[in-house]
Structures are given as C-alpha cells and as structure tokens.
C-alpha cells in the first residue's frame, strides 16, 4: 500500500467535512421539528440502548450540541491553506 497517498481520517478538517457536518445537523433539526409537529417521540441510541425521547428533549439536546459546536468552531483556528516552507 502506498503510504504517500493522503487518506482522510476521522480527525481531518476541511470545507467538505464541515459542509457534511452542517448538512447532518440541518437534517437532524428538520427531523426533530417534524416529530415535534406530529407529537411523536424520537428513537435514539444512548448508553448502548435504543430509547425514545420526546421531541422537546431532543430539541434541547440538539440546541445544546449546536451551541457547543459553534463555540468550538470559534476556538479552532482555520486550517492552513498555504504550503509549508522548508
């Protein structure tokens, strides 16, 4: 296997990864709103078990996670785009 080939990892950063994460966040938000509108619980995986939570609980967790992600994005310096000299 050629080790010179760059392969993305779970920790790799970049615009495509951020776009994918934002699309996932948007989709989750839409699902929560739909469940809230219909008044039906959401099935999630927590602590090794599938459980049901209310749309309101899901929304609170979603908004908290969104706030944490936004705060982290502000603390993380942007990825360098210029090649390293040397």
27 is a domain residue: yes
pTM for the full predicted model: 0.66
Name the phi and psi angles at 67, rounded to 5.
Answer: -65, -40
Residue 1 lies in a domain: no
Encode 53-74: b = buried (16+ Cβ within 10 Å), e = exposed.
bebeebbebbeeeeeeeeeeee
The answer to whether position 61 is within a domain reads yes
Domain that holds residue 41: 15-75
Beta-carbon count within 10 A of 37 CB? 9
Higher pLDDT, 85 or 43: 43
pLDDT, residue 76, reads: 73
Q: Would you say residue 56 lies in a domain?
A: yes
**For position 20, what pLDDT does the model report?**
93
pLDDT per residue as tens digits for the range 30-84: 999 999 999 999 999 999 999 999 999 999 999 999 899 889 888 876 655 455 5
Residues 6+ apart with CB under 8 A from 79: 13, 14
Q: Is the residue at 40 inside a domain?
A: yes
In a domain, 6, yes or no: no
What domain count does the chain have? Answer: 1
Q: Flag whether 83 is in a domain.
A: no
25 in any annotated domain: yes
Contact call for residues 62 and 32 (beta carbons, < 8 A): yes
């Amino acid at each position: 296997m050629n080790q010179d080939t760059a392969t993305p990892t779970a920790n790799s950063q970049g615009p495509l990864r951020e776009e994918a994460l934002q699309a996932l966040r948007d989709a989750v938000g839409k699902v929560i709103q739909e469940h809230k509108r219909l008044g039906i619980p959401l099935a999630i995986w927590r602590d090794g078990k599938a459980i049901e939570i209310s749309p309101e609980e899901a929304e609170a967790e979603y908004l908290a996670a969104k706030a944490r992600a936004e705060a982290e994005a502000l603390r993380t310096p942007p990825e360098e785009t210029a090649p390293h000299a040397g």
